[in-house]
Amino acid sequence: MKSADHRIGPVLCVVGARPNYMKMAPLLRAFAAQPGMPPALLVHTGQHYDFALNDKLFVDLELPAPDVNLEVGSGSHAVQTAEVMKRFEPVVDAQQPSCVVVVGDVNSTLACSLVAAKKLVPVVHVEAGLRSFDRTMPEEINRVLTDQISDLLYTTERDAHDNLAREGIAAERVVFVGNLMIDSLQAALPKAVAPEETVRREGGDPGLLRHPKGFGVVTLHRPSNVDDPATLREVLGILGEVAQRLPLVWPIHPRTRANVERAGLASLLANPRLICLPPQGYLEMVGLMSRATLALTDSGGVQEETTALGVPCLTMRANTERPITIEQGTNTLVGRDRAKILACVEEILSGGGKRGRVPEYWDGRTAGRIAMHLGAWLQRRAGVTG
């Protein structure tokens, strides 16, 4: 596809935000174990910089300290994307990588892909081809553009190949490998922190988790749910009603909590059956999700993790880029439809709810498949001029 120098330089692996870490951790281990694989350098853009969303996750996932930290921080989408590009370009110039590996759909993913593509460095996109078909989501723009300029596209589900084909991406650039998120999930399960310990440590009442029907776990952070004060009030009201039926544990994203405070809605969190926690580490979250009766979320990763765990998931969004979690897994799209949410909760509490099955190749061995394929691909490229 491109006519760059094919020497086998290092592989630059980019992370920027929390979901990236869970995908990159098993990949770095697999790269290190793959014979003939060039050295991997971890580049952290600093898109997420809060300790609770960053350093703790590196420890939980046994991720090495980044080789490069761009320390970009927060900003508008344009500012953040531009700043990542400005700071990543000198890294590419200095390292002369054999490829740049990006994961997911955050601003860092697109920014680093653009820099690499313009310098004729191959772009490898892990978790390619997912589509919500909602262009109002910044992540959808990032996904579509990153896939267009990627040389190798690794997919988590076979339907992603149809999406990519419709967008004119050649089939030989696309490889179905499975879901890296499940690699990290399976590795974390034996080390997961018990929910009672998590709640007790944060000053909550672990006795609430011994409710006859168990407890639910909540994660909400998307602008469509938490940015508008009226919408946020509606969401908090729904959570309050669900909490009357089942205690809820909610590790609140810093942005969400700030919006609650700014909108003067903090009193709606003062529900004794709504256990509000600060952001939690990965091992704490895996402990909560694996033991939960249900999850209420707007997170793409939680949709996948609950499907792998067999835990019913109610996704408070109008659409999802992960339809396999609905078609095969435990996920149900409920939006902010109060009646639908409460009906689904009642169904779960009375009959166990949707269980589904674990999709193909969500088996904990995705990183090894990527490392084997990418290592061979890089060697073939080097052989072109070597």
Q: Which two tokens stand for residue 164?
A: 């990519």
Count of other CB atoms within 10 angstroms of residue 39: 12
Helix (H, G, I), strand (E, B) or coil at 192: coil
Residue 221 is a catalytic residue: yes
Residue ranges of the alpha helices (H) in the chain?
Answer: 18-33, 55-60, 77-95, 107-118, 138-148, 159-166, 180-188, 195-201, 223-226, 229-245, 254-262, 282-291, 300-309, 324-327, 338-351, 366-385
The token pair at 249 is 């544990």
Q: Which of 114, 113, 111, 104 is nearest to 155 (CA)?
A: 104
Q: What angle do CA 297, 298, 304 make, to 5 degrees?
A: 75
Could you tell me if residue 323 is left (phi over 0), alpha (psi between -120 and 50 degrees) or otherwise beta?
alpha
Buried b (16+ CB within 10 A) or exposed e, 109-126: bbbbbbbbbeeebbbbbb
The secondary structure of 244-295 as a DSSP string is HHS-EEEE--HHHHHHHHHTT-GGGG--TTEEEE----HHHHHHHHHH-SEE
Q: Judge contact between 25 and 54, C-beta under 8 A.
A: no
Per DSSP, what are the bridge partners of residue 155?
Answer: 128, 176
Q: Active-site residue among 6, 48, 211, 221?
A: 221
Q: Which residues are catalytic?
A: 221
